Amino acid sequence: MKEQNQIIQWIKAHKKQLILAGIGIAAVIALVLGIKNKDMLKALWASLKGAVEPTAERISDAVTTTVTEIPTETPALLLSNDPCVPQEVRRHIRNLHEGWHASPEKLAAAREMGIILQEGQTWVDNYMKGVCAA
C-alpha cells in the first residue's frame, strides 16, 4: 500500500513532464506513420481536394448574388411593409420536411446545374414573390 502511494505521489509531482512525454511519443508515432504512408496520404489529399473544388465551383455558378442600387426617388415604395411589393427570389436548394422527396423533374434540373441534391432536398427555380392580384 505504501509503495502504491509513493507511485501516485511521484505521478502527481511529475504530471507536466508525463503529459509532455505522452504528447511527444504520440507526435513521433504520427510522424513515423505519416512518413511510411506518405504516398497513400498524398493520394487521399488529392482526391479530397478534387472532390471539394468542383463542388465550390458548381455552387458559385448556381447561386448568384445581385446587388441592386436603391433609387432615391422612390423611398416610400422600398421601405413599405406592403406584401404586394414584388421581389425576385433566386434559384436555390431547399430543405424539405421529413419524409418529403424531390420530384424527378427537380432532381434533373439540379443535375443540369451540376448540383447533386442530398436526401430531403429539392431545387427551386427563380420566382417572384409579393405579387398581389389587382
Element (H, E) at 95: strand 92-95
Query: How confident is the model at residue 66, as a pLDDT?
Result: 55
Residue 113 confidence (pLDDT): 86
- Residue-wise pLDDT for 4-59, tens only, equals 899 999 999 999 999 999 999 999 999 999 899 888 888 888 888 776 665 555 55
Q: Specify the pLDDT at position 75.
A: 47
Nearest one of 2, 132, 18, 115 to 124, comparing CA atoms? 115
Answer whether 0.75 is exceeded by the pTM.
no
